[in-house]
A and B are shown apart, each in its own frame.
Chain A
């Protein structure tokens, strides 16, 4: 089907793109890493994770019911658990379960 061919092309693009990014630095910086790039390597990861948090929440509606309430509460739960237990698995599981319950309860 045309649909699966299209999906297969997208999967191939994602695969090649990811492999390209992972190999590129090994090919370019064989000897020494420029200090600007090393600096970006240090500061970009937390910034990009912050970007991805916003990306995940991009379609949350805060102007109508339930006003982003399930997202808000679940995120608070994750932050508290992560800061307390430092165990991503527990935080992710609990946050997701809380969210799945809340979107069924507050409509």
Chain B
């Protein structure tokens, strides 16, 4: 959870550097609440992206959330009034906390999940606002702080690499995107990459999914 505080600070500083202050940091962290998407979003806003480009990028970058949701369908089934917020707040961090947790000794699992989700977002919002303030008072140049996003993905990549037995999915993502970057250039390679990745992984399904179990 402390990770969200630091990443939030990085986001707030970046957004401030792009010319958007506290209220923007607050609005984005409350309404979007997706770590990596907000980092990418700073680039979209600063670079004057179109609405269509923004929508497509959002879907691409956040497509993995579809799969977080899919794997939580059964867990969140009986969450009652907490359910809408639980689904809204299902970020990478919250997902990793709640999908691995053994909740057998928790009395009210829905309440527990709600509190974890809410505290995560609190850390994220507080971090963003703090970063926005820090960005305007720090006495030294924060040039290079944007690398924290690269660092975030590299660290998650290593973590996924260690956790997965088969490295074909990770390598597929890396190589397909590299090839698409070389073919389509840095401004329009995300969509082709996504298609190629899905296609390649579909071809590999027999190998990667031998049991073909239905559901999760």
**Residues of A that sit less than 8 Å from B by CB:** 6-7, 9-15, 17-19, 21-26, 29, 32-59, 71, 74-75, 78-79, 82-83, 86, 88-89, 91-93, 95-96, 99-100, 103-104
Contacts and interface: CB of A to CB of B under 8 A. Distances in A.
Contacts of B178: 54
Contact of B160 (A19, A36, A49): A49
A51 B181 CA distance: 10
Nearest to A88: B155
Contacts of B49: 10
Given A13-B51, A13-B55, A48-B173, A59 B156 contact: no
B138 interface: no
A56 to B, nearest CB: 4
A39 to B, nearest CB: 5
B36 to A, nearest CB: 6
Chain B contact residues: helix, strand, loop or mixed: helix
A75 B154 contact: yes
B186 interface: yes
A79 B31 CA distance: 32
B151 A46 contact: no
Contacts of A91: 151, 154-155, 158
B70 A92 contact: no
B51 A9 contact: yes
B181 A11 contact: no
Given A22-B87, A35-B214, 19 more contacts: A11-B27, A11-B32, A14-B34, A18-B32, A22-B66, A33-B70, A37-B70, A42-B209, A43-B169, A43-B201, A44-B201, A46-B164, A50-B174, A51-B177, A55-B177, A74-B151, A75-B150, A75-B154, A99-B144
A92 B143 contact: no
Contact of A26 (B32, B73, B186, B193): B73
Interface stretch (B56-64, B101-109, B128-136): B56-64
B54 A10 contact: yes
Contacts of B73: 25-26, 29, 33
Given A49-B173, A50-B157, A78-B154, A26 B69 contact: yes
A53 B150 contact: yes
Contacts of B173: 46-51
B190 to A, nearest CB: 7
Question: Which 10 residue pairs across A and B have the least CB separation, nearest first?
Answer: A50-B173, A47-B173, A17-B58, A41-B67, A100-B144, A50-B174, A56-B150, A95-B151, A25-B69, A54-B177
Interface in B6-41: 6-7, 10, 20, 24, 27-28, 31-34, 36-38, 40-41
A46 B38 CA distance: 20
Contacts of A15: 31-32
A92 B150 CA distance: 9
A39 B208 contact: yes
